[in-house]
Amino acid sequence: MLSIIIFVGLIMQNYIKILLTISLIMLACVALGQPAGGAPPGGPAGGAAPCWPPPCVPIDGGISFLIAIGAAFGGKKAYDSIKKK
């Protein structure tokens, strides 16, 4: 009787893992399958570009995040180096 309970418990654990994996895959498909919102690219029809010069690319999109991560990583390496001595 105990072996049957253990066997059913193992099957349920695998069932839950499989169900969770399938659910996450379906959620990702639904989230990425949504149509894009907002105005069409290129700005309003017949109007001027929203900024000047026209290639309006934000320079600080991820650079500040990369600098912060690099500083944290360098600080940890320096701390580990000092602690090791």
pLDDT at 73: 93
Intra-chain end-to-end CA distance of the chain, in Å: 59
Per-domain boundaries in the chain:
1-32
pLDDT of residue 53: 65
Measured distance CA(20)–CA(48) in Å, rounded: 49
pTM: 0.33
pLDDT tens column, 36-54: 665 555 555 556 666 666 6
Give the pLDDT score at 7. Answer: 64
- Decide if pLDDT at 4 tops 90: no
- Distance of alpha carbon 30 from its chain centroid, rounded? 16
Could you count the other beta carbons within 10 Å of the beta carbon of residue 43?
Answer: 14
